[in-house]
């Protein structure tokens, strides 16, 4: 056999082995909301090879709604999705095996129109507040507890609440038809870019109530069985996530690849979204379970079983012990 044939055979063998080698990496199939902000981080992980650097392959599976991402994971069609850990705690207390890896502290706040004279929540008495997450929205509950503590005010009783989908609250608030609004953090970033003013952040309210503002509310949620079947993969996902966070936190150029996914209509919206994403990056390390337990207790007090189910205390094993 000539040297050329030998070399050609070797090249063909290497090409054939390539896909097989790639398949040796365990996969994490991530069910994501098609337009969700988590895609900014996950896309950064894949684009920069942070998943492979930590020994796994991240595969994105977009869905049309958050409910669909959960159904996909519950049905075994996906391995991971993003949810708030209070929901996961409720499910775990009911016998599900969900485990949470910290993702983001971004929870937003309450904004008022640009010309509003309101300086505190007490100034909204008699006004109309738009709320995107419904009556059990965690930000709304924390702000209610804060108003009660600071002003002796029943925020729910002394204001009118208007509930609606995030885009509706966004448009209604910017049109001036609301005295205040609570929305998901990325809508709030755009509302502030449009001239609205943050009256109080949930972070400030939580701190005043003795809660730890650094407690991540959102997390990557995976099944205990999946983690057990792939030892170390939870820590690997956490480390890849931290790599992406560090890049996005310190490198403006990294955002140029993300910008097409951000639906930012103006430079002001883009800059506001980037700033608030960065502000929502939690400190590295494991979740402070005592602090999380205090938050869960408050949610149980204000939201009751409709919100937390049987999870009146932090279920053991809820948070992955990341390093």
Q: Give the domain ranges of the chain.
A: 3-105+214-308, 109-208
CB 105 within 8 A of CB 214: yes
Q: Given this model, what pLDDT does residue 238 score?
A: 98
What's the pTM?
0.89
| 3-105+214-308 matches 109-208 in fold | yes
- DSSP conformation class of 179: S
101 three-class SS: strand
Which contacts qualify for 310-315: CB closer than 8 Å, 24 or more apart? 310/90, 310/93, 310/94, 311/86, 311/89, 311/90, 311/92, 311/93, 314/89, 314/289, 315/89, 315/92, 315/93
Q: Given this model, what pLDDT does residue 142 score?
A: 95
Q: Given this model, what pLDDT does residue 196 score?
A: 97
Per-residue pLDDT of the chain (323 residues; tens, 9 = 90+): 443 333 343 333 444 444 444 458 999 999 999 999 999 999 999 999 999 999 999 999 999 999 999 999 999 999 999 999 999 999 999 999 999 999 999 888 999 999 999 999 999 999 999 999 899 999 999 999 999 999 999 999 999 999 999 999 999 999 999 999 999 999 999 999 999 999 999 999 999 999 998 899 999 999 999 999 999 999 999 999 999 999 999 999 999 999 999 999 999 999 999 999 999 999 999 999 999 999 999 999 999 999 999 999 999 999 999 98
122 three-class SS: helix
The residues, ordered by sequence, that sit 6+ positions from 97 with a Cβ below 8 Å of its Cβ are 223, 224, 225
Report the CATH architecture of 109-208. Answer: 3-Layer(aba) Sandwich (3.40)
Q: Given this model, what pLDDT does residue 107 score?
A: 83
Q: Which residues of 267-300 are buried (b: 16+ CB within 10 A; e: fewer)?
A: eebbebbbebbeebbbeeeebeeebbebbbebbb
- The fourth-level CATH superfamily of domain 3-105+214-308 is Periplasmic binding protein-like II (3.40.190.10)
Q: How many residues are recorded in the chain?
A: 323
């Amino acid at each position: 056999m000539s040297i050329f044939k030998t070399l050609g055979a070797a090249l063909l063998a290497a090409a054939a082995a390539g896909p097989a080698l790639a398949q040796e990496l365990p996969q994490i199939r991530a069910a994501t909301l098609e337009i969700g902000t988590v895609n900014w981080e996950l896309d950064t992980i894949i684009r920069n090879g942070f998943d492979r650097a930590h020994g796994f392959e991240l595969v994105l599976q977009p869905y049309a709604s958050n409910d669909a991402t959960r159904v996909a994971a519950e049905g075994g069609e996906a391995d991971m999705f993003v949810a708030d850990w209070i929901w996961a705690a409720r499910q775990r207390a009911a016998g599900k095996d969900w485990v949470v890896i910290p993702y983001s502290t971004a929870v937003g706040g309450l904004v008022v129109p640009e010309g509003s004279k309101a300086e505190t929540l007490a100034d909204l008495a008699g006004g109309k507040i738009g709320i995107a997450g419904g009556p059990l929205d965690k930000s709304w509950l924390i702000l209610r507890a804060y108003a009660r503590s600071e002003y002796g005010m029943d925020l729910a009783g002394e204001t009118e609440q208007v509930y609606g989908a995030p885009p509706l609250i966004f448009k209604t608030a910017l049109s001036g038809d609301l005295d205040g609004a609570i929305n998901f953090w990325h809508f709030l970033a755009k509302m502030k870019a449009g001239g609205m003013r943050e009256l109080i952040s949930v972070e400030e309210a939580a701190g005043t109530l003795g809660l730890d503002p650094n407690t991540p509310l959102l997390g990557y949620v995976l099944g205990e069985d999946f983690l057990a079947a792939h030892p170390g993969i939870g820590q690997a996902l956490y480390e890849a996530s931290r790599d992406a966070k560090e890049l996005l936190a310190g490198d403006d150029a990294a955002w140029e690849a993300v910008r097409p996914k951000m639906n930012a209509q103006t430079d002001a919206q883009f800059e506001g979204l980037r700033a608030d994403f960065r502000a929502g990056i939690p400190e590295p390390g494991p979740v402070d379970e005592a602090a999380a337990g205090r938050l869960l207790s408050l949610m149980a007090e204000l939201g009751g079983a409709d919100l937390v189910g049987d999870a009146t205390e932090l279920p053991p094993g809820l948070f992955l012990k990341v390093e």
